[in-house]
Structures are given as structure tokens and as C-alpha cells.
């Protein structure tokens, strides 16, 4: 753990990465096969299609392979690769454990849902506990993210926001 972080965690998504890697490898195989052996079927897709699909799935696989959480003296930063969300301490009203099922959000990844009248932005992984940050302002009333250590995360949040609930 770096000394300038109050808390740091990375969750590697083995299952999702494996699944996306299969698609990535599949498009690479189709590109190489069609380039070296010959067209696939009577109406083959052009090579550029397989190349761009390979690149797209490679980028998605790399980007969504891990969820990172970093808490500094200024904010909480949670992200999947380039898709990061920064929540400043002064914008957090309170925090608590999420009791809603992942199915309610439509699965894992980056999701938007509405729970008890509030819009939620969710950075979710399969099967892990989640922490809810109630926000004072912003497009979303709550920000939810998965963590392996919800008690430790909530302890840091409560300390930094001055709310020892």
C-alpha cells in the first residue's frame, strides 16, 4: 500500500477476464484463419471487421479486468480502467452496506439503478459486498461500489467525513 493512500484495493475479475479473453482470441483466430486459409462461408465478413472486433474486445478485456478503489485525503476514487468516479469527502452524507442484490442492478460492471427513489451509480463485481455512499449533490443520489473489505472502507469513510455512526 502506498503511503499517500488512506485505503487502496484492487479486485481482479478472473471470470469476466477469462470470458472476454475467449471472445478476443476468437476474433483473432477468425482474422488469422481468413487471412491465411481463405474466406469463411459464402458471404464472409471483411478482414477489417475481424481486426476491429479483436481490438475492441482486447480493449474491453484490459479495461474491465479489475476494479480499483483508492481513498486519499481528498476523495474516494473507484474505477474500471479509464472509467473512474471521484467522490470528494465533503460530498458524502453517509455510508452503509448495500442490501440490494446484484441482479437488481442487472449484473456486474458499471450500472445505473433506482432504489427507494434515489438514482444509484454502481461499480459492481460478482458476489462481493458493496458499500453505498449517500451524496449531498450530483446527478446520482448514491454511489455504490464493490469491495472485499466493506467494514474497513466504511471506517475510513466515516473517519474522513466526521460521521462515526
> What pLDDT, in 10s, does the model give residues 42-86?
899 999 999 999 999 999 999 999 999 999 999 999 999 999 999
Rounded CA-CA distance 16/61 in Å is: 8
Q: Do residues 100 and 118 make contact, with C-beta atoms less than 8 angstroms apart?
A: no
pTM (2 decimals)? 0.85
Burial (Cβ within 10 Å: 0-12, 13-18, ≥19) of residue 68: middle
User: All 3 cell numbers of residue 36?
Assistant: 491465411
Beta-strand ranges (E) seen in the chain are 7-12, 66-71, 75-80, 83-88, 92-97, 109-115, 118-124, 130-135, 142-146
Q: How far is CA 101 from the centre of its chain?
A: 16
**pLDDT at residue 1, as a whole number:** 47
**pLDDT at residue 103, as a whole number:** 79
Mean pLDDT score, 120-125:
93
| Strand arrangement of the beta sheet that strand 130-135 belongs to | 92-97, 130-135, 142-146, 118-124, 109-115
Amino acid at each position: 500500500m502506498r503511503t499517500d493512500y488512506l485505503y487502496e484495493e484492487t479486485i481482479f475479475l478472473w471470470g469476466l477476464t477469462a470470458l472476454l479473453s475467449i471472445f478476443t482470441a476468437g476474433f483473432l483466430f477468425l482474422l488469422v484463419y481468413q487471412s491465411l486459409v481463405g474466406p469463411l462461408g459464402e458471404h464472409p465478413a471483411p478482414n477489417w471487421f475481424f481486426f476491429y472486433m479483436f481490438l475492441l474486445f482486447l480493449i474491453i478485456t484490459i479495461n474491465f479486468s479489475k476494479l480499483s478503489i483508492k481513498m486519499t485525503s481528498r476523495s474516494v476514487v473507484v474505477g474500471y480502467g479509464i472509467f473512474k468516479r471521484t467522490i470528494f469527502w465533503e460530498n458524502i452524507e453517509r455510508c452503509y452496506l448495500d442490501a440490494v442484490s446484484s441482479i437488481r442492478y442487472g449484473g456486474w460492471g458499471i450500472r445505473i439503478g433506482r432504489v427507494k427513489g434515489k438514482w444509484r451509480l454502481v461499480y459492481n463485481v460478482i458476489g462481493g459486498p458493496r458499500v453505498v455512499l449517500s451524496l449531498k449533490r450530483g446527478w446520482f443520489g448514491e454511489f455504490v461500489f464493490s469491495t472485499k473489505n466493506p467494514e474497513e472502507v466504511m471506517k475510513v469513510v466515516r473517519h474522513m467525513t466526521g460521521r462515526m455512526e
